[in-house]
Amino acid sequence: MSRILTSAPHQGFQGPSMPASHPPLSQAYGDLPRGYSYHTESLLADDSVWDEEEPEEMELSEDEDLAPERPSFTGLFRPSMFKSLLHKAKITTNMGVSSTQPSQQADSHPHDDLFQLHKPEQDFIPCPELFTDVVQKSWSQLAYISAPNGLDKKLYCLDPSLQNLIQLPSVDGHVAQLTSSSVISNDVLDSLRTEDKKAELSFHKTHQAAAWAIRAATSTSFFARASLIWLRQLQERLPPDDCRLHQDINKIVAATEYSADVSLNAAKFASRALVLTVTSRRLVWLCHWRANLKSKWKLASAPYKGSFLFGRGFGPNTNGG
């Protein structure tokens, strides 16, 4: 099973072979386009689709010669299916379905199009009140964010290889020595100024929150991909002449593929938030380093590998060089 789970994202999941009398898969999805194949590279994983145009890099950046970022993974879901799948989901949940008003169209003047600008319609995913409440629940007490409970730790218990990778990195010893403090303490934070210490603790909480988002998202993606295997096995046992049942299963497969891709992208976005806290923490600890801003930024934006804030054998020396 582990080998199947590993190869599943690259091979995709196709429905069972159908006899000639069975409608093609495009008809099984209703108004989805023909030629659907589960093995496709999703635009959900393509940063060029999601990212807005980046502002000009500040003069400290030396990344002009870097190649464009490649997709992090090959997706399962075909983006061209999104509009139809979303429409079917809205109808099923009875949420976000807009009703057209033919009377208004009939009253419009035939030449109105010459003087009107028609904005392209956007396909919004419905947001029930439950979603908004969950998002805003933590906004009322910014000074106190509750820690994950025992159930969270049980449901999102990742393999140690990833769980250790996203843990809060320790401050390198030779970097901590840059702070000029006369306080003798076993806690490295005591060497920071009060305002820097508050910023450091805030970055700790941000890092941990992003790490838990990664844990939840990757757990979701794993079970979604396992579900695709179960659905494929179910499709192979379905009567080939039961067209309606195949249509329903195909919709579940498409929605599960979407969940598998989006949850993994959620982990990617949370990872970006996590590494931004690393950059910010580096700048806090480098404030005592006697160097120009460009040198500090170059060191703060260097690649991160986990465990230590800068990495063993990496970072400014204690002589200020």
Mean pLDDT (10-residue bins), the chain, 321 residues = 44 43 41 39 38 41 54 84 94 81 57 75 89 91 86 95 95 82 69 90 95 98 98 94 94 97 97 96 91 92 93 62 51
The pTM of this model reads 0.70
Query: In sequence order, what DSSP letters do the residues of 195-216 get, joined into one string?
Result: HHHHHHHHHHHHHHHHHHHHHH
Distance between CA atoms of 227 and 95, rounded to whole angstroms?
25
Q: Which phi and psi angles does 170 have, rounded to 5°?
A: -80, 155
For residue 6, is it within any domain? no
Q: Are 8 and 225 in contact (CB under 8 A)?
A: yes
pLDDT of residue 13: 43
Structure tokens at 182: 């006369």
For residue 271, is it within any domain? yes
Count how many domains the chain has.
1
pLDDT of residue 143: 78
CB atoms within 10 A of CB 122: 5
Single out the residue of 218, 214, 186 nearest to residue 277, CA to CA.
Answer: 214
Residue where the block lists tokens 């169209």: 105
For residue 88, is it within any domain? no
For residue 278, is it within any domain? yes
143: helix, strand or coil: coil
For residue 81, is it within any domain? no
Single out the residue of 42, 38, 41 nearest to residue 16, CA to CA.
Answer: 38
Q: What residues make up the domain containing 277?
A: 193-315
For residue 23, is it within any domain? no
For residue 253, is it within any domain? yes
For residue 276, is it within any domain? yes
Classify each residue of 142-158 as buried b or exposed e, where b means 16 or more C-beta atoms within 10 Å of its C-beta.
Answer: eeeeeeeeeeeeeebeb
**How would you class 45 by CB atoms within 10 Å of its CB: exposed for 0-12, middle for 13-18, buried for 19 or more?**
buried
Q: What is the largest CA-CA distance in the chain?
A: 84
pLDDT of residue 118: 72
